[in-house]
Amino acid sequence: MTDSLAARPPAPADADGSAARRWLRRWHPGPSPRVSLVALAHAGGSATAWHPLSQALAPDVETLSVQYPGRLDRIGERSVADIPALADHVVAALADVTGPLALIGHSMGSTVAFEAARRLEAAGRPPVALIVSARTAPSAGPFRHLERDDEALIEELRLLGGSEVLLENRELLRLALPPLRSDFAALAAYRYEPGPPLACPVTALVGDRDPRVGPGEMRDWADHTDAGFALHVLPGGHFYLQDQLDAVVRLVRESLAAHLD
């Protein structure tokens, strides 16, 4: 696995070197952060999902929130319905980021973060930590909840506890459903390629009322690291992060403690 990733060509860089500007959002840049935390959102989500965490972690941890194409300020771009390709783009956007890197992902973002971590290790830039949230381990098998028509997608959002403001606004839904459908297609097409475990520790987070993934399934992430694993179950559903910010901040800091002293 490592050899095949090392041989894989990187995602094409922009001619003007703007890959980082297109893919990464620095909400709270610090003068000398000790760790850069690359944050990847859920299916249908955007970089803004990480704004509260970024604010809480600054300034010693600078959060680099990934902005997927096809939403918000990138709404005019075609979504990338391919997990490995997303990971390639993220790694390319990090080319000029110096210092220790860690990754955090929620739901779909956990899978993208895992693949990005593999690529960073293959490129000789191993991350110091991987934090995954509300997503089964890559080896668990294909995503089984791909919904094709709008009403089915909306019902999936309701099941997961999506924003009521979004669910009750048809104009917002019209903009949100295409990237969500693309992200679900990316998850359905993703196939884990077996390879060496990561050399960085993995921390797994999950809500105790998540309808799609439970603590038992999150424990399978332990098979993907040789450097230590921790599982934390927090009160809440799939989007427990919204109500458990203080706990998440504490756990992120614990996972990065060796680099924050």
Residues marked as catalytic: 107, 238
Rounded CA-CA distance 182/148 in Å is 10
- Nearby residues of 16 by Cβ (< 8 Å), 6 or more positions away: none
Backbone CA torsion sign across 103, 105, 110, 113: negative
**What are residue 35's DSSP bridge partners?**
61
Do 186 and 80 meet the contact criterion of CB atoms below 8 Å apart? yes
Rounded CA-CA distance 103/10 in Å is 19
CB-CB neighbours of 47 under 10 Å: 25
Task: Give the CA angle between residues 213, 136, 92 to the nearest 5°.
Answer: 135
Rounded CA-CA distance 177/175 in Å is 6
CB-CB neighbours of 66 under 10 Å: 26
Rounded CA-CA distance 204/218 in Å is 7
